[in-house]
Every structure is written in C-alpha cells, then in structure tokens.
Amino acid sequence: MSGQPDSPRLATTLCGLSLTNPVIAASGTFAYGVEFAGILNLNHLGGFVVKGLSREPIKGNPPPRLFEAEAGMLNSIGLQNIGVRAFCEEKLPQLRGLKTRIFANVFGYAQEDYVEVVRVLEDHEGVDAYELNVSCPNTKHGGMFFSSDPVLLGSLVGAVRAAASRPLIVKLSPNVARIQPLAETAASAGASAISLVNTILALAVDAHTRKPRLGAGFGGLSGPAIKPIALRMVYEAAQAVTIPIVGIGGIASGIDAAEFLIAGATAVQVGTATFWDPQSPVRIARELDQFLKEEKIESVRSLTGTLEINRP
C-alpha cells in the first residue's frame, strides 16, 4: 500500500507530545487499546484514546445499544467501563511497552468525580495525556450539561487542570448553539487542546413497533452524516483559540483527515470507521501520507489552518 503511517511527512506534535502521525483512535470505539493488539500494530497509530473512565464501574444502558443509520451510527452505550482503578490494575500494565501515545478519556457526573479519576491516574505511569468528556449532565446542578454551560465548564477544567500534571484535552459537544464561547472558556481555564466534536443527540424510531431503535431512547449520532457539521465547528473553534484542535466526526479516509487539518485541526480522531474497518486509523494515516506525497507537501503540519473562506 502506498504511504506509510510512520512517514517523516506525517510527524507532528500535540500538546508538546511527539506523534508519528496525526491519526488517533477515538475513545469509545477502541476499547482499552489492548483488545486491538491482534488486529493492527498499535505502534502505527499516532495514539489512541481509551474507553471513558469513571470513578466507579458503570454497567451502561439497556440494549439495543447500536443502530446503523443511513450515513452513520447511533450509539447509546451509556459509558460502560470497568472504572479507573481496575483500568490501572488490569489494562494499563499491558500498554506501558507501547511507543504510541496513550490518552485517558475521563468523565463524571460531578466535578469531584473528574478530579478523583485524574488523581488516580496521576499515581500511575503509562498515560501521556487526559481527554475530558464534558458531555455529561452535572447531577449537582439540576442536570445541566458541563458542555453547554461556560461557567460549569470553566470550573471543571480549572479544577482538573489543578490536579493534572499531564496535558489536558477537553472534548466538546456539538449540541450547542455556538462552539466559540465554550472553546474560549476551556482554553482560558487551562486546557492544553480541544477535541471536537462528540456525537450529536439523535433519535431513531421503529415505525412498526412505534418504539425507539435504542434501548435508552435517544443516542449519539456519529459517522459521515456529521462530518460537515464537525468541519464547521473545528474551523470556528480554531478561529477562536490558539491552543491545538483535534478534529473528530465522520473521518473515514486520508482525504477526510486532510480536510479537518485544513479546517484548523492539528490531529484527528477516527471512531465510527473502526466498526466496519478495525484497521482504519492505520489505513487513514497511510492514505494521508499518500495525499501529502501527491500534493508535494513535505510536512503534515503545514496543512493546519490553511482553509480560506471568502466572507461577504
């Protein structure tokens, strides 16, 4: 196959971390990483984000949890995970020998939940950075989502930043009217980078049974259907802040990845594509390298933020 995932053209940095390429496997789609070791060479990834980690284990939502839409997928997993302590004891030791970058996705339903998860991770080697999933309702504030309230978001990011010695990426939700104020809040509160977008709240209905297709009702839409929305938000966030952006949303090819970089991203994450092609993150890195070669671009870093939009 043309292109190589470790080509010098693909080398980049994110939050001070060197990456062999800018393609990262997204949280919630790559388990804890170790499960994919027999499918692809994990060291050919720019990095991967482990399944979201919470203070205590979570069983997740009732089935069915996945539904294939016309141009994507709805999921309602419910953030099922083994809990941060079990992750550190059972999974993390198997990841320490890898050369690729390992990002720990962190979530909670109160600010102290996030801080405690990070505090536990701080006591263990093998994690390179944190990614905060802020698309959770704050149960102490009437269910208001961290991702849609700048005050809650700023407080959360600031508290975690104070507890964390590693880079801190804040994963923003597209379920807001404007992304710029939230990106600015995250940056001001100490985020090292921003990743976006998370899934879009959606609903699939079975006309015969007159019930939702998912056991929990609503789910998160991901995949090619959300790519144009994600590109727009990446561009808007990149215009609003100076910290790096990690683009997410419907990336299934090297050209898709290039588009996100051009819109303002420094790196990208691949999620839904791994459900039909588990090797897609490595394939996409190869395709991106081939694109750079054909376009006579010496470094992937020179793509970032080169989009030109003529506004009336």
**DSSP conformational letter for 140:** G
Other C-beta atoms closer than 10 Å to the C-beta of 106 total 30
**Proportion of the chain above pLDDT 70, given as a percent:** 100
And the tokens for 170? 């804040």
pLDDT of 1 higher than 60: no
Contact 189, 153 (CB under 8 A): yes
pLDDT of 33 higher than 60: yes
User: Computed over its alpha carbons, how large is the radius of gyration of the chain?
Assistant: 18
pLDDT of 101 higher than 90: yes
Contacts of 145 (CB under 8 A, 6+ apart): 134, 135, 136, 137, 138, 152, 173, 175
Q: State the sign of the Cα–Cα–Cα–Cα dihedral 281, 282, 285, 287.
A: negative
Domain assignments of the chain as residue spans, ordered by start? 8-303
Q: What is the pLDDT of residues 210-246, one digit of tens each?
A: 999 999 999 999 999 999 999 999 999 999 999 999 9
Q: What is the pLDDT of residues 163-202, one digit of tens each?
A: 999 999 999 999 999 999 999 999 999 999 999 999 999 9
Residues taking part in catalysis: 136
What CATH number does domain 8-303 carry, 3.20.20.70, 3.30.70.260, 3.40.50.300, 3.55.30.10? 3.20.20.70
pLDDT of 294 higher than 80: yes
Measured in whole angstroms, the distance separating CA 20 from the mean position of its chain's CA atoms is 18
Buried b (16+ CB within 10 A) or exposed e, 189-201: bbbbbbbbbbbbe
